[in-house]
Amino acid sequence: MLLIDLQSVYCLNHSSLQSIMRIHYFVFAATACCILLMNLPVKAQVNSGESVPDVTRTIALTNAKIIPSPGQVQERSNVIIRDGLIIAVGPDAAIPFDAFEIPADSLTVYAGFIDGLSHTGIPQPKQQPEQERPDDPANPPDELAGILPYRDVRPLLDPKDKRIASMRESGFTAAHVVPRGRMLPGVGAIILLGGDTPNEMVYQGETALYAQLSGARRMYPGTDMAVIAKLRQLYKESERRHRADRLYREDPTGLERPQYDPVHYAMFPVLEGERPIFFHTDGVLDLHRVLSVQEELGFPAVLTGLSQSFDAIDKLKSADLPLLLTLELPKEPKQNKKEPPADSTETPPTDAPAELPEIMHLDYDPDHRVTSFTDLESEKANLEARRTIAYKTHVGNAAVLESEGLSFGFSTGSASPSDLLTNVRKMIEEGLSENAALAALTTTPAQILGLTSSMGTVEVGKMGNLVVTRGSIFDEEGQVKYVFVDGRKYEIEPPKKTSGSDADAEANPAGTWSLSISSPDGEIAGTLTISGSDDDWSGTLIVDITPETSQLESIAMNGNVLTFSFDAGEFGNITSSLTLDANSINGSFDVPDIGPVSVSGTRTSGPEKSTTVQ
Amino acid sequence: MTDRMRLKTVFFIALLSVAINSAAQELPTGDLLIRNATVLTVTNGTMENTDVLIRDGIIAAVGEQLNAPQDTPVIDATGMYVMPGIIDAHSHIGISNVNESSAPVTAQVSVGDVLNPYSIAIYRALAGGVTASHVMHGSANVIGGQNETIKHRWGLLDPDELRMAGAPRTIKFALGENPTRVHGRGNNKRPASRMGVEYVLRETFAKAERYREAWAQYEEDVKTNPRAIPPAYNSQLEIMADILNGDIMIHCHSYRADEILMLLGVLEDFGIDQITLQHVNEGFKIAPELAEFGATASVFADWWGYKFEVYYSTAYNAAILTRNGVLTSINSDSGELNRHLYHEAAKSQKYGDLTDDEALALITINPAIQLGIGDRIGSIEVGKEGDLAIFDRHPLSIYAINQKTVVDGIVYFDIEEDADDMRLIVDPESTVDTAVIHSHEDTHQCLYEGSLDLYDFLESN
């Protein structure tokens, strides 16, 4: 993908001038050709990998199967994009003389996917100074307490954030992004998942205020209940200041001048109904709490996250708020039984949905009773069956929302980009219709985000945001071939196959790993030591901020994913999932009340240090 | 919802109570006829061979050979004992947060905002015959958060359905070692001493008085000047003002006699005449003073010595307080102890020679009165809510085992239906472990709070 945006071409440096001259020459030549060879499509200079700029901003996808919007199909049609906009769609759409044509006979064209909410393009702060302890934990400065409703996400954008490209590879072309943080991290923006500068990426700013029930560390508000109380305080005092400000501006007679402050004043657009709060909920308890405080205070809201919402359907219906469902799914429970070895001759692409093991005949007995110590195996099997049902229930959340008539868009949240399509497919397997899935990726987020005039469908006048796939995007064989963002083409490499016959062999985590933990309070170093083999691992973790050594529990290797948990004292029981790639390791620690904290590391010693684990 | 467990629970509830009202807003209530039991009314003595009829969740009749409509579910309780549902006046079950320990005054927070109907501790409490709990903020702060009185409607998934609607508002205060340790030693803030605790109380009440005055002034001004600007909103002082106005009942964690007398003095100065003292291990020293003030006490039967301020204690505490005219209850403060509060009541009876009714009152009508719900639950009387526990033996017997627990006329616990796995929700990423999981709710967690490492070293209660 060695594209250079035309905008940069217009910068008049020396090489650019040459490029422009080339274009002029090309257009002239093409025009001449057209006169001679009327309807023959122009074979434009293809961007075939070397570092040359795009020569045209007109693109024709020809003879494609087009899904203009969920439920609609146009076979053998063309889509023409010019200057970033779709200018023609249909079987008879003429192919302009200057178009770069992509024969798409075997391809399907969808509207580019829209991520309803995530931190895409906002890198995790790598190094933060040790967070200062406020002088008075009861009354800390707002920015330490995570209360930054005035913070704009746009200056935080980094076009080099890796998530942008990896989201695009899954078909996402635009995202609603918000700052990272705690209770009120800031104000979001719609960005395009392409572009070389933050300004190019921004489609629209000041979209919404982001909120979550996420307390500050070691200061007020620390707990969920305090975050709720703080929100009440902030909201009601903002209402008062808003009124005072309005009265004063109408007529200052007899009034003291209200004093500006960034926090309360940032709430004014919310009070005026101009800016919704996108409120994240992680689990059904969050959902109830957020709905209660929303109903009490009455702010305009969009609910995001919504895991476990299958348990609060009636409340969601009566709340009647826009919904953005996370594409994160719980990890599939590992069954006791060893899964049958995969056929090594047919290596599935890495983003293919994981096979559901044969647990469909869920023999869970809700009345199961054993006398202690007499039949622990049956007890365990029963509990595992229940856990598998729970897993399927969680995956089936989207299907439940659909069947209950609750419309929703998808948000990618902190889901791994490589899981996005896999997880949509899993949801479809659990009963979500393909139309609802596509709507949740395109039209519904466009509606929720107020983007219907420019995004969400393949229609004349919309932005040239497209996903072009080989096979259905919802089929596990389906592959994203091209993604167009604002008319700019991105060719997607087929997912790398895990090489060689070892592909299915489990990676060996044994050894010593030097870890870097991106805690909310800054980077923390740690040392992970794993020993043992196969299903008999043991290990320890030393984190530099404490002298204690944590014993790892429930250590398991599944493919190249290492999972374990450990007791982290004040932080609770942390579960970890780390993906091994040769001698590097990446993943996260799931910290209670804080959420996933990203972790990366390298192997410093161990049996596998020099051997190959692809 | 493919959760068969859930379906089973719902079906089970439906089976035993045909009259469940499925209207979204209203809570389910049941009809139930309990036949031929020994009925321990608590307020009206013991009645042999007696029936209790519940209609729409309310006790409709108590007597012999009662008639009920044909469809009414019937429990044959021949040879069994029916008592009022046990009420735990001090608990931390069914909530996601206990302490907001970042500040010595956190009146504005409420555990009612973080109720957790999925907490298995609620079901375990039901198994011990407990039908209602006063779930409280912890004791890290001098003025902690607001509490919530819940009914154990296991299987209802909306947190609001746990609330005992109409129960008076209450708030947690705490004296002594916990707040001085957390804020004084932990954060180098006031209070660092018992004197500092009194200072924080007086200062906060004084601020609340001024806040109340400022708002009263505004209400007056706005009558003549519609452009008047109200004073700055302060959610903490709103709650403190409600306490001053008598709209919120104080439940104060306290042990030592001297500091309890200090508290009574502060309350007197600010015109507050209602107080329930929680733990109050040295209550026996000042029982007449407590009685004179009208304070009530909620104690442990025989639990002490877990920190310095709790050494001077006695198992006669409940009896001494009772005999001195202090309304007294026995609480659990624990997701373990709450399952055998009837044993705790029996201990107080054994030591202090209380009557059966006095002992049972410690865990029924007395806590109900302390929570302001004595007119609704806590005894078996016509017109009260149908919250009952059915034991195979007299509940003050060491051999007694609870068989069924009824809330609002619905059987929410039945020992016959008590399968191994009664959870309402399962985390698919949880590990399956057949060993006993030690839930944090099983421990005494007045000071439980995940975010301050200091607390790992702290004692509880």
* CATH code for the domain in which residue B227 is found: 3.20.20.140
Closest chain B CA to residue A574: B430
Provide, as residue numbers in chain B, all residues whose Cβ is less than 8 Å from the Cβ of A334. Answer: none
DSSP A333: P
Is A283 touching B (CB cutoff 8 A)? no
Q: Which residues pair with A45 in a beta bridge?
A: none
How many other CB atoms are there within 10 angstroms of residue A286's CB atom?
A: 23
Instruction: Give the Cα separation of B369 and A595 in Å (integer).
Output: 42
Whether A329 is covered by a domain: the verdict is no
Percent of chain B surpassing pLDDT 90: 87
Cα dihedral A298, A299, A301, A306, rounded to 10, equals -60
Among A220-224, A379-383, A536-540, B433-437, which range has the highest average pLDDT? A220-224
How buried is residue B86: exposed, middle or buried, by Cβ count under 10 Å (0-12/13-18/19+)? buried
The minimum CA-CA distance between B272 and chain A, rounded to whole Å, is 25
How do beta strands B130-135 and B86-91 pair?
parallel
Q: Residues 184 to 203 of B: which have CB under 8 A from any A CB?
A: 187, 189
**ipTM for this prediction:** 0.92
Q: Which residues pair with B428 in a beta bridge?
A: none
Is A259 touching B (CB cutoff 8 A)? no
**Out of A144-158, A374-388, A467-481, B435-449, which region has the weakest mean confidence (pLDDT)?**
B435-449
Instruction: Give the Cα separation of B231 and A238 in Å (integer).
Output: 12
User: Would you say B368 and B327 are in contact if contact means Cβ atoms under 8 Å apart?
Assistant: no
User: Would you say A552 and A566 are in contact if contact means Cβ atoms under 8 Å apart?
Assistant: yes
Among B101, B432, B455, the residue with its CB nearest the CB of A380 is B432
Is it the case that residue B435 has pLDDT exceeding 90? no
User: Would you say B136 and B99 are in contact if contact means Cβ atoms under 8 Å apart?
Assistant: no
Task: Write down which residue in A84, A106, A128 finishes a domain.
Answer: A106
Identify the three-state secondary structure at position B226: coil
The minimum CA-CA distance between B187 and chain A, rounded to whole Å, is 8
Whether B413 is covered by a domain: the verdict is no
Reported confidence tier of residue A317, pLDDT bands at 50, 70, 90? very high
Identify the three-state secondary structure at position B5: helix
Percent of chain A surpassing pLDDT 90: 61
Tokens (6 digits) for B306: 């877990």
Phi and psi at residue B108, to the nearest 5°: -75, -15
pTM higher than the cut 0.90 = no
Note the pLDDT of residue A593.
Answer: 65
Note the pLDDT of residue B160.
Answer: 97
Provide, as residue numbers in chain A, all residues whose Cβ is less than 8 Å from the Cβ of B97. Answer: 223-226
Whether A48 is covered by a domain: the verdict is yes
Is it the case that residue A393 has pLDDT exceeding 90? yes
Mean pLDDT for the stretch of residues A280-294: 97
Whether A205 is covered by a domain: the verdict is no
Instruction: Give the Cα separation of A211 and A281 in Å (integer).
Output: 9
Q: pLDDT tens, A257-270?
A: 999 999 999 999 99
Average of per-residue pLDDT values in chain B: 91
Instruction: Give the Cα separation of A188 and A175 in Å (integer).
Output: 10
Note the pLDDT of residue A41.
Answer: 40
Q: pLDDT tens, B173-204?
A: 999 999 999 999 989 999 999 999 999 999 99
Instruction: Give the Cα separation of B144 and B106 in Å (integer).
Output: 5
Note the pLDDT of residue A496.
Answer: 65
Residue burial B222-242, b: 16+ Cβ < 10 Å; e: rest: eeeeeebbbeebbbbbbbbbb
Note the pLDDT of residue A497.
Answer: 56
Candidates A334, A329, A327; CA nearest to A387 is A334
The minimum CA-CA distance between A594 and chain B, rounded to whole Å, is 10
Whether B22 is covered by a domain: the verdict is no
CA distances to A193, A197, A598 from A202, in Å: 9, 9, 26
Mean pLDDT for the stretch of residues B347-375: 97
Sheet of B248-254, strand order: B143-146, B169-174, B248-254, B276-279, B296-299, B328-330
Instruction: Give the Cα separation of B108 and B263 in Å (integer).
Output: 21
CA A351 to chain centre: 15
Provide, as residue numbers in chain B, all residues whose Cβ is less than 8 Å from the Cβ of A220. Answer: 100, 102-103, 106
CA distances to A125, A163, B227 from A521, in Å: 10, 22, 45
Q: Residues 415 to 454 of B: which have CB under 8 A from any A CB?
A: 419-421, 425-432, 434, 449-453
Whether B44 is covered by a domain: the verdict is no
Total number of domains constituting chain B: 1
Mean pLDDT for the stretch of residues A511-515: 86
Tell if the CB–CB gap between B429 and A331 is shorter than 8 Å: yes
Mean pLDDT for the stretch of residues A297-323: 97
Mean pLDDT for the stretch of residues B111-137: 98
User: Would you say B38 and B82 are in contact if contact means Cβ atoms under 8 Å apart?
Assistant: yes
DSSP secondary structure string for all residues of B354-373: --HHHHHHTTTHHHHHHTT-
Tokens (6 digits) for A387: 């856990």
Residue A479: which H helix or E strand, with range?
strand A479-485
DSSP B184: I
Mean pLDDT for the stretch of residues A187-203: 96
How many other CB atoms are there within 10 angstroms of residue B111's CB atom?
A: 28
Domain that holds residue B273: 85-377+437-461
Task: Write down which residue in A81, A106, A131 finishes a domain.
Answer: A106
Whether A564 is covered by a domain: the verdict is yes
Whether A417 is covered by a domain: the verdict is no
Instruction: Give the Cα separation of B104 and B178 in Å (integer).
Output: 11
Is it the case that residue A50 has pLDDT exceeding 80? no
**A92 Cβ contact partners less than 8 Å away, ≥ 6 residues apart:** A78
SS (H, E, C) A437-454: HHHHHCHHHHHHCCCCCC
The single residue listed with the structure tokens 């919250």 is B387
Closest chain A CA to residue B434: A380
**A145 Cβ contact partners less than 8 Å away, ≥ 6 residues apart:** A134, A182, A183, A216, A219, A220, A221, A230
Whether B33 is covered by a domain: the verdict is no
Identify the three-state secondary structure at position A358: coil
Instruction: Give the Cα separation of B172 and B279 in Å (integer).
Output: 12
Whether A102 is covered by a domain: the verdict is yes
The minimum CA-CA distance between A48 and chain B, rounded to whole Å, is 45
CATH value at residue A601? 2.40.128.20
Domain that holds residue A99: 6-106
Cα dihedral A22, A24, A29, A32, rounded to 10, equals 180
Tokens (6 digits) for B319: 């009896």
Q: pLDDT tens, B301-351?
A: 999 999 999 999 999 999 999 999 999 999 999 999 999 999 999 999 999
How buried is residue A111: exposed, middle or buried, by Cβ count under 10 Å (0-12/13-18/19+)? buried
Interface mutation target, options B451, B454, B456, B458, chain A, most CBs of A under 10 Å: B451
Whether B432 is covered by a domain: the verdict is no
CATH value at residue A11? 2.30.40
Reported confidence tier of residue B78, pLDDT bands at 50, 70, 90? very high
Whether B230 is covered by a domain: the verdict is yes
Instruction: Give the Cα separation of B57 and B122 in Å (integer).
Output: 20
Whether A202 is covered by a domain: the verdict is no
Mean pLDDT for the stretch of residues A570-574: 75
Note the pLDDT of residue A131.
Answer: 64
Note the pLDDT of residue A19.
Answer: 43
Is B158 touching A (CB cutoff 8 A)? yes
Q: ω into residue A592 within 30 of 0, thus cis?
A: no
Total number of domains constituting chain A: 2
Instruction: Give the Cα separation of A422 and B177 in Å (integer).
Output: 54
Q: Residues 34 to 53 of A: which have CB under 8 A from any B CB?
A: none
Tell if the CB–CB gap between A247 and B227 is shorter than 8 Å: yes
Reported confidence tier of residue A275, pLDDT bands at 50, 70, 90? very high
Q: pLDDT tens, B28-49?
A: 999 999 999 999 999 999 999 9
* Residue count (chain A): 614
Is A387 touching B (CB cutoff 8 A)? yes
Please report, as a single letter, which amino acid is at residue B194.
R
DSSP B95: B
Is it the case that residue A475 has pLDDT exceeding 90? yes
Tell if the CB–CB gap between B159 and A289 is shorter than 8 Å: yes
Among A540-544, B22-26, B245-249, which range has the highest average pLDDT? B245-249
Supply the Cα-derived Rg of chain B in whole angstroms.
23
Reported confidence tier of residue B286, pLDDT bands at 50, 70, 90? very high
**Out of A79-88, A510-519, B347-356, B432-441, which region has the weakest mean confidence (pLDDT)?**
B432-441
Is it the case that residue A65 has pLDDT exceeding 60? yes
CA distances to A346, B167, B187 from A613, in Å: 19, 63, 49
Mean pLDDT for the stretch of residues B271-283: 97
Whether B21 is covered by a domain: the verdict is no
Is B102 touching A (CB cutoff 8 A)? yes
Note the pLDDT of residue A555.
Answer: 86
β strands within B267-423, DSSP E: 276-279, 296-299, 328-330, 388-391, 402-407, 410-414
DSSP secondary structure string for all residues of A30-99: HHHHHHHSTTPPP-PPP--SSS---S-SEEEEEEEEEE-STT--EEEEEEEEETTEEEEEETT----TT-
Average of per-residue pLDDT values in chain A: 84
Whether A496 is covered by a domain: the verdict is no
Identify the three-state secondary structure at position B440: helix
How buried is residue A251: exposed, middle or buried, by Cβ count under 10 Å (0-12/13-18/19+)? exposed
Phi and psi at residue A115, to the nearest 5°: -85, 120
Among A588-602, B389-403, B436-450, which range has the highest average pLDDT? B389-403
Give the Cα-Cα-Cα angle A367, A372, A374 (nearest 5 degrees). 95
